């Protein structure tokens, strides 16, 4: 709950004086976080700066920490210590030819993050018992109360780049509420699927989902009349739960 006088949500930065934009087909636009909006998590705070390629700037309190992919750090205070999170199987995962490393920054001090393309930040406070699945390389940071793991989904990637598969990050809350911030390319939309309700997604559009939403790869053959045509893979997402999509896809070579 927020103060009646507050202009933005204390937990996720969403403007409170603008109503949600919902399309007639049921997609809610991710709240466009106003430039310089500040919000709280644990005893630390985050300020979102900029609007075209937004930066998340974290002011960590002593004892709080956040984890992230190391290549998205924009700047930090010299005194903020960095460690590497131990991951099982992480060595096999590579990002654009770099080894995939999750780093941890611990307070006190400031550290800021941004990704490499136009997009929106999606701030998702997670309560105990919530599980969130996120497309690989889409999360900007998560707070230390959240457990991180990942799974590989075969046959799922953008239409343009074939179905060589992709990873999905899984965030699980322990006993205390935590925070996950994602960066979606282009614009981000969310909808809640009812139990059994489903929607077909271009795999490149998938951004996040509650773990209760199931994802199934379906192939559709597109004939060209010559050479047998090509296969189009679509992801069938079935409720109950939230799904988030992004309107632009940037392909990072994943091995």
Does position 1 interact with other proteins (CB under 8 A)? The reply is no
Does position 220 interact with other proteins (CB under 8 A)? The reply is yes
State how far the alpha carbon of 100 is from the alpha carbons of 137, 148, 162, in Å.
10, 14, 22
CB 42 within 8 A of CB 64: yes
How many residues interact with other proteins (rule CB under 8 A)? 39
**Cβ 91 to other proteins shortest distance, Å:** 30
Residue with smaller CB distance to other proteins, 176 or 230: 230
Residue with smaller CB distance to other proteins, 102 or 235: 235
Residue with smaller CB distance to other proteins, 92 or 236: 236
What distance separates the 2 farthest-apart alpha carbons in the chain? Answer: 64
- Give percent helix, percent strand, percent coil of the chain, each to the nearest 5: 5, 50, 45
- Give the integer Cα–Cα distance in Å for 148 and 169: 7
Does position 129 interact with other proteins (CB under 8 A)? The reply is no
List, in sequence order, every beta strand (DSSP E) within 96-187: 98-99, 102-106, 109-113, 119-126, 131-135, 139-143, 146-153, 166-173, 178-185
Residues 7-36 within binding reach of other proteins (CB under 8 A): 21, 23-25, 27, 29
Residue with smaller CB distance to other proteins, 175 or 224: 224
Residues that bind other proteins (CB under 8 A): 21, 23-25, 27, 29, 52, 118-120, 159-160, 185-187, 189, 198-202, 205, 220, 222-227, 229-230, 232, 234, 236, 245, 247-250
């Amino acid at each position: 709950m927020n103060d009646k006088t507050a202009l933005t949500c204390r937990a996720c930065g969403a403007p409170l004086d603008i109503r949600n934009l919902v399309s007639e087909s049921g997609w809610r636009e991710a709240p466009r976080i106003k430039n310089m909006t500040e919000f709280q998590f644990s005893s630390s705070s985050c300020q979102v700066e900029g609007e075209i390629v937004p930066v998340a700037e974290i002011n960590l309190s002593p004892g709080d920490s956040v984890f992230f992919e190391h290549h998205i750090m924009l700047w930090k205070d010299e005194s903020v210590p960095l460690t590497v999170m131990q991951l099982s199987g992480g060595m096999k995962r590579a990002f654009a030819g770099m080894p995939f490393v999750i780093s941890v920054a611990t307070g006190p001090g400031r550290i800021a993050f941004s990704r490499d393309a136009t997009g929106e930040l999606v701030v998702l406070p997670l309560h105990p018992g919530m599980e969130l699945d996120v497309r690989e390389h889409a999360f900007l940071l998560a707070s230390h109360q959240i457990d991180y793991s990942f799974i590989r989904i075969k046959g799922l990637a953008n239409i343009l780049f074939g179905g060589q598969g992709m990873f999905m990050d899984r965030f699980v809350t322990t006993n205390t509420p935590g925070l996950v911030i994602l960066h979606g390319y282009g614009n981000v939309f969310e909808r809640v699927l009812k139990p059994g309700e489903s929607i077909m997604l271009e795999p490149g559009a998938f951004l996040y989902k509650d773990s209760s939403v199931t994802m199934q790869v379906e192939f559709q053959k597109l004939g060209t009349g010559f050479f047998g045509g090509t296969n189009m893979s679509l992801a069938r997402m079935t409720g109950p739960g939230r799904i988030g999509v992004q309107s632009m896809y940037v392909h990072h070579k994943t091995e």
